[in-house]
Structure 1
Amino acid sequence: MAEDSSQEKTEQPTAKKLEKSREDGQVPRSKELSMAIMMVLGSAFLLMTGGTIIDDISQMLSSALTIDRALIMDTSLLPSVFLGTLVEGILSVMPFFVLTLILALITPALIGGWLFSTKAIGFKASKLNPLSGLKRMLGTQALMELTKALVKFILVAGIGYLVIASQTDHLLALAQMPLGRAFQEGGKILVWAFFYICLSLLVIAAIDVPYQIYSHTEKLKMSMQDIKDEMKEMEGRPEVKAQVRQRQREMAMGRMLDDVTNADVVITNPQHFAVALVYDQAGSGAPVVLAKGQGEMAARIRELAETESVQILRMPLLARALYFTSEINEEIEEGLFVAVAQVLAYVYQLSSVTPGVPRPLQPNPDVPADFRYNEDGEAI
């Protein structure tokens, strides 16, 4: 039986998957890059300031090894002298420590950026599983780490050997120099050797950075089904969306029915359609549709109109024209202005009729030919 291709993780991770992995503390990181930059810049700093640091340390050692007569006579002064020497030594190397601290904070952000996530340090029972630990030890990641360690050892050892071999004469000459001069020359050789060895770490970093980015992307790859599920989750499950739409329709219908009480007239089909209209006589706009409905909704509009004593008129052609061409809370079409004006004039006359006076005849407004529809919404 063939494996379902939709379950194969062959697709690049989506933006949402990348964001979630970042929230979980999973971003590409290269310890080799951070270490290489810290070591190279640190050794370069020592090359520029190493002479001063070595001079300061030399003077500190010379001073510390010179015992004053007063110290011999009064040993209670020794703690303060030792403390002063310690502070002097710390201040001598403080610039190097500060640079190292700054680089330690900056270099991790070179790939993956800064990240503060409590999930990354949270307890996970899977970390205590010996099988998971064995899998990590024998997995691709462990093999890559072993390869990097071997290459690093070979490079460092090789560079160290070349540096020592190239400086053999200078190292032998140190024995013929005065102590102070030998100390300075030996320190210079040591710092340059350290710098060249640190440069070799850039080779490891150049290999490790692309691998870490590739490995991180491979871990986050998704199957087609994963992408479909994510899209459904983002857009909402169909059944949930249907319920939301139903609820929205119910709320809209409720608001629409509440507006029927403010209508001037309700025009019906008489059974299938009902449209409630209102007109602001003080305004300059056209009549507005407050509510409209078909079938059961039309019946509810008529019931509310009867309850609230809103005039109901049976005008099939005009009711269908208003229903199919107008939207709720919007003005009617210009082509129906005359017909609706006749209806509203009749309604206003009815409201001013006194008892005993004959009612005016209901108008039969003419509906333009291009506004005539049957009950299926088809032009007739």
Structure 2
Amino acid sequence: MSDAIEKGNVPFSREVTIFASTLAIYIYIVFFLPSGFATLTESLKDVFEQPEAWRIDTSTDVVALILHIFANAGSLLIPFFVLLMTFGVASAVLQNLPSMVLDRIQPKFNRISPVSGFTRIYGVQGLVEFAKSLFKIVIVSLIIVLVLWNDYFESLDAMFSDPETILARMSTDMNQIMIVLLISTAIVAVADFFWTRHHWYSELRMTKQEVKEELKQSQGDPIVKARLRSIARDRARKRMISSVPRATLVIANPTHYAIALRYVREEGDAPVVVAKGQDLVALKIRALAEENGIPVFEDPPLARSMFAQVSVDSVIPPVFYKAVAELIHRIYATHPRRMT
């Protein structure tokens, strides 16, 4: 997601911008159009009712008349464009903060590719855009017709009445139409806002290969790390096996577990585990012990307990003192020289 945002690929709903523009038009019609239109009407009335006051003998007179008309028209249109720009920019900024991304303006051949164009038109995004357009054209038109149906004949009669009455009537109808458009675009904008983000998250969903690549970038290659761990285990195992000939005794569970202990009074007060292993490693420890004349005692409960609780190169816990002391006493009684 961070990479996509840095490249300018952010969720953006055009319907929210359309709703903001519709809201700006409605605000303009309600708050600015009546007063601005009245001002423009008075200005044009002066021009047409008193044409003798406006001389057009020279080009300067013509320019002055045109500037006068455009100045009054500008006072009517400037608020309209300011509102459109303000609401349009605000709708874009509120969705995503602006950022400079040069990659978005670089030419890309897939934008003119017929295949890519076909996918955009007939893909999921194209169908969604078609559904939104269909809703705005059909549903909104139907609602407007239903809203104005009761005023149809009154609108026809207003065409033959006083111009000021026509303008007032048109203003009322326009307000009704804008309210319908505002509600309709609001519904579409809310739906499109959530759909755009859902579609954006779906498009960014990573494949298995992308997940693997991300793990490689953040934590390193799992294959290399597994290989390094395997090498480290092999080295530790070889170092441990090389310490077996220094052991005083081996406690074994016939074939599954083997614990090699070293006890010399001058080196410490308690036996130290110099090697331990399971299955094939346990058989290797037993074989080395037999080759070096090291006594092997078969005590399955003791072997399993010590294998689970004691680590290599550590002193055995006090809970095993009594059991191990009995074995050491047997060795001392039969082979006193092995204790030195």
Q: Using structure 1 for the length normalisation, give the TM-score.
A: 0.54
> What does 1:82-161 correspond to in 2, within 5 Å?
82-161=66-145
Q: 2:77 & 2:91 partners in 1: Cα distance?
A: 21
Cα distance per residue 1:38-68 (max 9 Å; x no partner): 2024313422333212212322332343452
The equivalent of 1:356 in structure 2 is none
- 1:229 paired to 2:225: no
- 1:37 paired to 2:20: yes
Cα distance per residue 1:278-309 (max 9 Å; x no partner): xxxxxxxxxxxxxxxxxxxxxxxxxxxxxxxx
Q: 2:183 & 2:46 partners in 1: Cα distance?
A: 36
Q: Give the root-mean-square deviation of aligned CA atoms.
A: 2.9
- 1:167 paired to 2:151: yes
The gaps in structure 1 that reach 5 residues or longer are 1-17, 242-316, 318-375
The partner residue of 1:205 within 174, 189, 200 is: 189
Q: Which piece of structure 1 moves more, 99-108 or 153-162?
A: 153-162
The gaps in structure 2 that reach 5 residues or longer are 226-266, 268-311, 316-339
Task: Measure how far apart 1:175 and its partner are.
Answer: 3.7
- 1:193 paired to 2:174: no
Counterpart amino acid of 1:182? I
Q: 1:232 & 1:82 partners in 2: Cα distance?
A: 71
Cα distance per residue 1:225-276 (max 9 Å; x no partner): 32231132134558999xxxxxxxxxxxxxxxxxxxxxxxxxxxxxxxxxxx
Task: Measure how far apart 1:140 and its partner are.
Answer: 1.4
Q: Is the 8 A contact 1:25 1:120 kept in 2?
A: yes
The equivalent of 2:256 in structure 1 is none
Change (3 A) 1:182 1:132: closer
Change (3 A) 1:378 1:173: closer
Residue 25 of structure 1 aligns to a residue whose secondary structure is coil
Cα distance per residue 1:155-204 (max 9 Å; x no partner): 22112212321322541342454222322332332233223223211121
* % same residue: 21
The equivalent of 1:328 in structure 2 is none
The equivalent of 1:217 in structure 2 is 201
> What does 1:326-337 correspond to in 2, within 5 Å?
none
Task: Measure how far apart 1:96 and its partner are.
Answer: 2.3
Q: 2:112 & 2:165 partners in 1: Cα distance?
A: 56
Q: Is the 8 A contact 1:29 1:111 kept in 2?
A: yes
The equivalent of 1:65 in structure 2 is 48
Counterpart amino acid of 2:78? M
Q: 1:97 & 1:69 partners in 2: Cα distance?
A: 34
Counterpart amino acid of 2:182? C
Q: Is the 8 A contact 1:36 1:201 kept in 2?
A: yes
Cα distance per residue 1:114-160 (max 9 Å; x no partner): 34322112111222322222222221111111111111111221122
Counterpart amino acid of 2:106? G
The equivalent of 1:263 in structure 2 is none
Counterpart amino acid of 1:231? L
The equivalent of 1:27 in structure 2 is 10
Q: Using structure 2 for the length normalisation, give the TM-score.
A: 0.60
